[in-house]
Chains A and B, each alone.
Chain A
């Protein structure tokens, strides 16, 4: 949390009405200020993103060099710290990833990236920092609740990390934790009945979900109740719309998983049979469970969350991209109203597509057909969003700033991720592609060069507001160009491998199936090398992030990007209470290059000139 403190410059001298001086702890650690909490979420989330990436690099080492210990001092060190994950190789050298260890890293990579990395940054960090500023609110509606949700999340992080240090290691049944595997794993004479990987995973998830629920209530209440005077719904910046819909998804989709988490905890701790079928045999012996449960029940409850979760990952990213594109093309978003409509349709449909993850479970042709139909339908609002963003570029005087580079790249990357999803939506093609690297490639294109690139765009874009200094431009461009090359080097070959039939859970990268997949096996080396280089590239970002706090170019004014939305009306960085004067909104969110205006942007808070009537209710469309 020391880092959160350093990114937040002292906020005195801006004339805000922060009557009482808060001590260090209340100001930077147990803060109720939405901006500090946003930064806390951001730093924690970015750290977890990096951790999840490191887990993946260890897996990629194993895939490229099966059975070879992790090189140099790293192998022995890792084995000493994580004896459940690493072992000696056949020559007695320490640091070889074990099969169990590979499963552990896979499970924890997924869990950490989704629930502890991307969601905290995309939803909690940007949602907390930017959304209240954009609607013109002095803070979130419930500051104490906001603090509680961060610290609940923090506890879940500690719980989840602690599982790396228990006997038997962390959860190893995939981020989906499918029973009966997850219920029988980490049980037996050598592991603690309670302090074991899977039980801690469930406990960590229960806390994570609780924190998320509290946060989403706060987000919705803020967005509905605390809009500044004049901030009508159709004047709301697109980013706020995405946060609002995302919060609804979290609010309604997460509780069934929380219920399922309780039930799996009961299966593990009290021996119930929610997810254990009658007569389950393990290792030739009948298990002690009474039976009568259903493993499919877990899958339904899990995917009822986890599919909307995909849109939780992508919607805030689209929101960020929309803001950055409007600002850097110097023109309004194309089809703002249609985009708002599209995210609502997307949000609604995301609740009725979950079982397309379960085509292989034999749930029946009728059910599959239903989910196939809804899944194909959900591509319509997605295409509306991407098309509108693409058309927003048309005829714009584009400024290729670093955030804009990341934002424009989001479009083709998300496009690839989306289009490769269509064969997975259909039963017949999914039967072949299910559980291959094709699936991995598909959703990583959506989440990694899609969402995470959008998050980078957001960091570069709002960094000057939070820190008062710009991030270094040259380093930013280096970071972008290396990232875009290497990230495609990892994920594109996955399609080639997946179509050839490489299974996603092969621990040796497919060497034991060499006869079948020989033509694509060599890609493993290429992909792993790309992964390590991508990892190295992120060091540029990390350096830039911290260097610019102290040495970055100071912002020339409170609105360095010449933007129109309200967050740029605050002092830099904004003090407690945000705005120094009462804010009134007079116009839509993206009044760029308005003909006849004296400059190419008109902030939302700028009153109309006296001789003209007030702006139309939806000026975003008035071009």
Chain B
């Protein structure tokens, strides 16, 4: 016996099998992302005042990505409609456009947004040291205005000052050689070194090096920290903040923690990477299916075009869902 209702709808439910299944799958996806978004709410509610960053992400780029996804969703609907009208060429054009738009979304996400963060650097100042760094943080000013404090100084890491035990000197030199770093200053017979780093990952390598103690960081500040009492920084703005020329020295002993803007940096970045990462995987999965239907499923179209149209309808429902998740991600991470 053949399995019924693979293509034609069952009269009493009005659905063919795959359409029911994709709605069920999307229900479980709602719960999957629901779990992650509830984690977001939980972490944000539990964060200390000022420790949940605002305006960290690039809103114009996020807006662009939102528009790309919405247009791609429209393209998928048009591709489905083209199949319903049995216009294969038109179908290929629309689905091809969706593939291109989805790919551009992913490229922006990974090579621009994520990559930029991997090279950005942040240091959380201990609460009892805030006064010493107030010219960067402006917490006195913020307290007077009743605004949340800034516990963190961010920017681009230039140099790391380290103290090395004599017996570990050779090993450190080997590491510097291996990573192609440059020593800008050497004092006390090589006991205290200033090392020019290329990326924050070099600082991580130094942290893990035995016998090496990081003393201080020299970093170019994000513009907000050069003029922290300027009222234009009281609220997050639309345009991305630029990096300034001003360099500050921050002592490692004054810090709770420091790292690049990688997942472990803060709860915000952890959940940001978790949700956008999982969303990116869904985009990737959708693209793989699109490419299969675009180039490898013509035989089915010739044999049973209605079945082919159903497939695009089902994958389209999935794509709209992934789009919808982004419609939640965008305000929750970029705007709120």
Contacts and interface: CB of A to CB of B under 8 A. Distances in A.
A258 B28 CA distance: 11
A274 B271 contact: yes
A579 B1 contact: yes
Contact of B3 (A143, A262, A263, A296): A143
Contacts of A419: none
A614 interface: no
A226 interface: yes
Contacts of A263: 36, 39, 270, 274
Interface string B27-48: 1110111111011001100111
A290 B39 contact: no
A290 B266 contact: yes
Contacts of B5: 141, 225-226
A225 B264 contact: no
B3 A138 contact: yes
B35 A272 contact: no
Given A141-B3, A220-B24, A256-B32, A294 B46 contact: yes
A110 B1 CA distance: 41
A292 B43 contact: yes
A283 B192 CA distance: 31
Interface in B5-37: 5, 10, 13, 15-18, 20-21, 24-25, 27-29, 31-36
Nearest to A261: B35
Given A270-B262, A274-B43, A274-B267, A221 B20 contact: yes
A259 B32 contact: yes
A578 B3 CA distance: 11
A247 to B, nearest CB: 9
B28 A251 contact: yes
Given A225-B5, A226-B4, A577-B1, A273 B270 contact: yes
B109 interface: no
Contacts of B18: 142
A553 B271 CA distance: 60
B51 interface: yes
A301 B39 contact: yes
Among A278, A289, A579, residue most surrounded by chain B Cβ atoms (within 10 Å): A278
A304 B46 CA distance: 20
Given A138-B1, A224-B13, A258-B32, A292 B267 contact: yes
Contacts of A290: 124, 256-257, 259, 264-267
B3 A255 contact: no
A622 B39 CA distance: 51
A255 B2 contact: no
A520 interface: no
Contacts of A579: 1
Contacts of A221: 17, 20-21, 24
B263 interface: yes
B181 interface: no
B289 interface: no
A256 B42 CA distance: 14
A482 to B, nearest CB: 42
Interface string A198-217: 00000000000000010011
B278 interface: yes
A254 B265 CA distance: 29
B28 A213 contact: yes
A294 B4 contact: no
Given A259-B35, A271-B263, A292-B266, A217 B21 contact: yes
Nearest to B1: A138
Given A255-B28, A262-B278, A271-B264, A225 B13 contact: yes
A238 B148 CA distance: 59
A367 interface: no
Contacts of B42: 294, 296-297, 300
B317 to A, nearest CB: 14
Nearest to A219: B24
A261 B21 CA distance: 24
A16 B257 CA distance: 69
Given A143-B3, A262-B274, A290-B256, 6 more contacts: A259-B35, A263-B36, A290-B267, A292-B46, A293-B46, A301-B39
Interface of B: 1-5, 10, 13, 15-18, 20-21, 24-25, 27-29, 31-36, 38-39, 42-43, 46-48, 51, 124, 256-257, 259, 262-267, 270-271, 273-274, 278
The 8 A-B pairs of least Cβ separation, nearest first, read A256-B35, A259-B35, A138-B1, A255-B32, A271-B264, A272-B270, A255-B31, A292-B267
15 contacts: A137-B3, A142-B21, A220-B24, A221-B21, A225-B13, A255-B32, A263-B274, A274-B274, A290-B256, A290-B257, A290-B259, A292-B47, A292-B266, A294-B42, A294-B43
